[in-house]
Amino acid sequence: MIDQAVIHPIKEGKFRFTCHNGLPCFTKCCANLNLVLTPYDVLRLKNRLNLSSQTFLDRYTTSFVDEKYGVPVVKLKMNNDETRQCPFVKPEGCVVYEDRPGACRLYPLGQAASMFHGGHQADEYYFIVKEPYCLGLNEEQEWTVPEWLTNQGLDKYNTMNQFFMDITAGRPSKIIKRLNDRQLRMYYMACYCLDDFRNFVFETSFLDKFDIAQDVLNRIKTDETELMAFACQWLKFSLFGEKTFQLAVTELG
């Protein structure tokens, strides 16, 4: 949650910002964060660190079922010492920079629509987060929001996050809050623990039960972003009964 006092509108569609290691505030922003990770953030980071999904989740995250939205949320654990720094910040900067989470890329912007909001994207708009310690906001370079999103490589993140948001989009919270423990575990596995989800698809009787086209199988075997999109479709079917999957036709003898 962002402190309301630091939220400011973007005036005339532009804002000023540059971040670089010559500023006295360099890396000050990478501590004491309430950093929610999306499934795509987890995918990028676990691959960057060459870890399995489960090892990454165990080592670097905490998770809980969010009371408001009723689904599991994953957060990056800050270091458990007085600095409360992000585990990936070093004096020279972010050591996972090319695969840093979407929220780190978006800063100093914030997005009004929550990840789990009822899917009404029309409400979505951007604002500036003016943290008092951030000197990058005094720099000269000007950006529009689209320029910033492109510069920070957020297009791919937004595409992947949309698959994830579509799972719960438009569903009344009372329906989501009805999910039982087994369904919540499935949600967590399919969204965040992609290696386990792959095993679930390819190492169980899953493919005997569902009719999955060969080209889809080929794609999800070789491309983890395709597997993640597939996992989101699976959750719509298995948790909410959407007709995103077809049962396999078994021959009667």
DSSP 57-117: HHHHEEEEE-TTT-SEEEEEPPPSSTT-B-TTEETTEETTGGG--HHHHHTTEEESS-TTS
Q: Stretches 83-91, 120-128, 201-209, 214-222: which one binds ligand SF4 (CB under 6 A)?
A: 83-91
- Whole-number minimum distance, CB 29 to ligand SF4, in Å? 3
Q: Figure out which of the listed residues 100, 106, 167, 194 binds ligand SF4, where binding follows CB under 6 A.
A: 100
* AA letter at 62: T
23 binds ligand SF4 (CB under 6 A): yes
Q: Figure out which of the listed residues 96, 113, 115, 212 binds ligand SF4, where binding follows CB under 6 A.
A: 96
134 binds ligand SF4 (CB under 6 A): yes
19 binds ligand SF4 (CB under 6 A): yes
Find where tokens 């906001």 sit.
137
108: cis peptide before it, omega within 30°?
A: yes
26 binds ligand SF4 (CB under 6 A): yes
Nearer to ligand SF4, 78 or 229 (CB): 78
Q: Stretches 61-69, 127-135, 185-193, 220-228: which one binds ligand SF4 (CB under 6 A)?
A: 127-135
**Pick from 148, 201, 161, 149: which is nearest to 44 by CA?**
161
- Whole-number minimum distance, CB 85 to ligand SF4, in Å? 8
Interface with ligand SF4 (CB under 6 A), residue total 22
**Pick from 44, 73, 99, 74: which is nearest to 225 by CA?**
44
Q: Which residues is 26 bridged to in the sheet?
A: none
46 binds ligand SF4 (CB under 6 A): no
Q: Stretches 93-101, 146-154, 176-184, 190-198: which one binds ligand SF4 (CB under 6 A)?
A: 93-101
Non-local CB neighbours of 187 within 8 Å, separated by 6+ positions: 71, 72, 167, 179, 235, 239
Q: Please say whether the beta carbons of 128 and 12 come within 8 A.
A: no
- Whole-number minimum distance, CB 27 to ligand SF4, in Å? 6
* AA letter at 159: T
> What is the distance between the alpha carbons of residues 102 and 138, in angstroms, rounded to a whole number?
23
30 binds ligand SF4 (CB under 6 A): yes
Q: Which residues would be at the binding site for ligand SF4 (CB under 6 A)?
A: 19, 23, 25-30, 33, 86, 88-89, 94, 96, 100-101, 104, 107, 133-136
